[in-house]
Amino acid sequence: MDALSKAIIEQLQQDGRRPYASIGKAVGLSEAAVRQRVQKLIDAGVMQIVAVTDPLTIGFKRQAMIGIRCAGDVEPVADELAAMPEVDYVVITAGSFDLIVEVVCEDDDQLLEIISKRIRAIPEVSSTESFVYLRLRKQTYSWGTR
């Protein structure tokens, strides 16, 4: 990835609705060139342009991070977890857990159902540990391109 693509990403991280013409002026490209680069970055899976919300304010009262230990290959388990609509983050890790997932739920009953009946029902899952969020203090996606 070259410096111009990184500069475009940084512009969009500041404001995902910033017009391509404004981005072009800031990075020294035409509007059309910015549009093409943005589409290539999206198509390559380098970035997404989305609205970020605070789940608590839109009816999802329970969030949790769940550490998962597996017996056997973790990749099929990660794929199965990633297919669950309540799961918004799946990471294969090294350390105490094989996987860490973040879930966003409407309430404690839904969290219990996801953990007990869906995650623990996956045959390769040997144990889970849940970290329930009490309050969202910071959520940002603006770490830049360094």
pLDDT tens-digit series, residues 106-136: 999 999 999 999 999 999 999 999 999 988 7
Name the residue type at position 92: I
How far apart (Å, rounded) are the C-alpha atoms in residues 20 and 67? 40
How far apart (Å, rounded) are the C-alpha atoms in residues 101 and 78? 9
CB atoms within 10 A of CB 9: 19
Side-chain-side CA neighbours of 118 within 13 Å: the count stands at 18
Write down the pTM of the prediction: 0.76
Cβ-contact 114, 50 below 8 angstroms: no
Place 23 in a pLDDT band, splitting at 50, 70 and 90.
Answer: very high
How far apart (Å, rounded) are the C-alpha atoms in residues 104 and 139? 14
Q: Which candidate, 66, 51, 61, places its Cα nearest to that of 125?
A: 66
